Amino acid sequence: MDQFYNEEQRMVRDTARKLSENVVAPAAATIDREDEFPREIYNALAEQGLFGVALSEDAGGVGLDAMAACIVMEEIARGSGAVGNAFAIPVEAAIFLDHHGSETTKGWIPGILDGSVIPATAVTEPDTGSDVAAMKTTAIRNGDEYVIKGTKAWVTFGQIADVIMVFAKTDPEAGHKGISCILVETDRAGVIKGKSEDLLGMHGLAECMVTLDEVRVPVTNLIGPEGGAFKMAMGNFNFARLMMSSMALGMAQAAMEDAISYANDRKQFGKPIFEHQAIQFMIADMAKDISAARLLIHNAAKLYDAGHSIAMEAAQAKLFTTDMAQVHISNALQIHGGNGYSREFRIERLFRDVRLSQIYEGTNQIQRMIIARQVQKAYT
């Protein structure tokens, strides 16, 4: 794909690759083992301006595009899926605030970009995941304030966030049309951060449950129109799915590289195992599907940057890439044989980390529903 990148995209790719290989990858095993938020690496990403890669210069960003963000994500996730996930949070938060924020809430963007303000987003609840409209968290207006009450689950950066964009019902009787997004500073009374979740993979992201016990925030903290957050969230999901796809792509690329290296070094029956057709076919399928995934992602990103709706294209990219990454990272582990089951090898961590990608930003079952509905619209 390099021949299709413009000069700016190549430059940001090279910056991200250098950072990933020299800083991210060497720390990945420690992050996984210790499960501590890698603040120094997070700051290094910010110092390179990567959090603003898809944000306009007028908004304080680098002024590139979604395509560049996908390229950067692939490179960072190639070094560590968890750090790739950490990269996505401020990128998406800054774009969301730029698109929908008021003068007050946009004031948080510079801090998000320079890494001094850690953002989080709270949509999912203990009893509601894919069914966003069924959320129970409420934000009832009382004079010049909203009083927010409810519990949010799986809040990435929840334990360390300075601000959380909370999705809550300002009109509980209006279904999805009653959902609003309100920025909550986490030092406000009533914000209760739960214990860090003990996850299968994606360690170091300070994921937790957040309880909002009658938290009072000024109405000026509203992001977008009251009752308009469901539509805003659905639009944001399209960009987020490009990020998630690119994260899975980076991990799949890393797995293939490890599989090739191991297969060239490991000898069985008198020759490197790469020389056995069974291994060659597995690696050939990896290369084929990784290339196809990259094309799907970059096609969707190009359409997004041109201002087109990408509901179907983003869902297709997310579905295909995360499913194929799960399959081929598993195959790469198989090529490693017994060593693949050892934490001495990166492939074991990749195997655990990539599993989240089929759940995050809408499960792959939801992606199939989105694609089917878009196809029905196109052919009916």
Tell me the CB-side half-sphere exposure of residue 20, using CA atoms within 13 A.
26
- Counting Cβ atoms within 10 Å, is residue 323 exposed (0-12), middle (13-18) or buried (19+)? middle
Q: DSSP assignment of 223-282, as one string?
A: ESSTT-HHHHHHHHHHHHHHHHHHHHHHHHHHHHHHHHHHHHH-EETTEEGGGSHHHHHH
Tell me the CB-side half-sphere exposure of residue 122, using CA atoms within 13 A.
39
Nearest to 296 by CA among 310, 307, 284: 310
Residue type, 99: H
- Strands (E) located in 24-144: 119-122, 138-142
Nearest to 69 by CA among 5, 13, 1, 6: 13
- Which residues are CB-contacts of 190 (< 8 A; sequence separation ≥ 6)? 148, 212, 213, 214, 215, 216
Nearest to 255 by CA among 26, 81, 87: 81
- Which residues are CB-contacts of 263 (< 8 A; sequence separation ≥ 6)? 272, 273, 274, 279, 283, 335
Paired tokens of 202:
């994606």
Which residues form the catalytic set?
361
- Strands (E) located in the chain: 119-122, 138-142, 145-155, 163-169, 179-185, 191-196, 208-218, 222-223, 267-268, 271-272
Are β-strands 119-122 and 138-142 bridged in parallel, bridged antiparallel, or unpaired? unpaired
